[in-house]
Structure 1
Amino acid sequence: MYFNPYHYYPFGPPTPAYPTYTVNYPVSRTYPSVDTKIFEGSIKSFRLLMEQGSILLDRLGNVSFARKIMSAAQQGKNAEVDQLIKTIGLKVPVVTHFTPTGVNFTLTTQVTQQQPIHCCTLTVAMQWGH
């Protein structure tokens, strides 16, 4: 290499001012056709959960029933709360979780031959204290 006496770096081929980039064009992908059978089943199941949730809310709207639920919950009587909820006669399982300030009712779909997995969950969360 040749060194210029006035400069302390070697001369060579010019370097580009900007680095070169390769352009990656998006690859066109093919997707399988859409199958709505599972989604349609979930919609039907969720409608049932909504109906059952409405029945639950109607029953909780009864002041004497609400008082029984809240009193049992305040005393920590989980089994009594569950028994009171079962007296409503809902067609879906309900799990109740409560704290001093609120209550959650979780309604889930049941596993059937047509629906081998739990597709849907409806959680009703309400405040009942400060």
Structure 2
Amino acid sequence: MMYVSPLPYYYYLPLYLLNDYGPTRPLPPVDPEFFRQSANESKTLMKQANMVLNQISESKDFSTHLMEAAQRSDFEEVKRLIHSIGVSSDVDIHFTPDSFRLTFKSKIAAKDCCRLTIALRW
């Protein structure tokens, strides 16, 4: 005996597939303002990250001091070195014996809007 469903087949599909196969819930109108502000704020984070990358790649002294401080697990010195080149963004700094990771963060009106993570090997 074969089972026959009392509902049409599109009731069993995921919601993202229903647009072409059946009714969907109405979507609210989009407001791109926060999205645009987030993109603009991300450009600022990219400038800050570029400053750090330029300093590391162009200054052997700076990169040596940074690596030595990380090797000693001197988090405050690593943070001081990063901010000494003019970084004003909020930055999470993580380092291991193999890698160095910076996550630049920003907020708009007290809401997290964007993050930019740079991960480097050493």
User: Normalising by structure 2, what TM-score?
Assistant: 0.81
Cα shift readout 1:56-96 (whole Å, capped 9, x = no counterpart): 10111111100000011111211111111111111212221
Task: Give me the whole-angstrom Cα distance separating, in 2, the residues matched to 1:72 and 1:28.
Answer: 56
Partner of 1:9: none
Higher strand share: 2
Q: Answer yes or no: is 1:127 the counterpart of 2:111.
A: no
Q: Mind listing any 5+ residue stretches in structure 2 that lack a counterpart?
A: 11-21
More helix by proportion, 1 or 2? 2
Displacement of 1:20 in angstroms is: 2.8
RMSD between superposed Cα atoms in Å: 1.5
For 1:21-32, list aligned pairs within 5 A: 21-24=5-8, 26-32=22-28
Match of 1:88 among 69, 85, 88: 85
The runs of 5 or more residues in structure 1 that have no matched partner are: 1-16
- State percent identity of aligned pairs: 31
Structure-to-structure mapping, 1:37-76, within 5 angstroms: 37-61=33-57, 62-76=59-73
Residues 27-84 of structure 1, C-alpha deviations (whole Å, 9 max, x = no match): 3421111111111111111111111111110111111100000011111211111111
**Secondary structure, in 3 states, of the residue corresponding to 2:54?**
helix
Residues 1:18 and 2:2 aligned together: yes
Aligned residues: 109
Structure number, greater radius of gyration: 1
**TM-score, L = length of structure 1:** 0.76
The aligned residue for residue 101 of structure 1 is 98
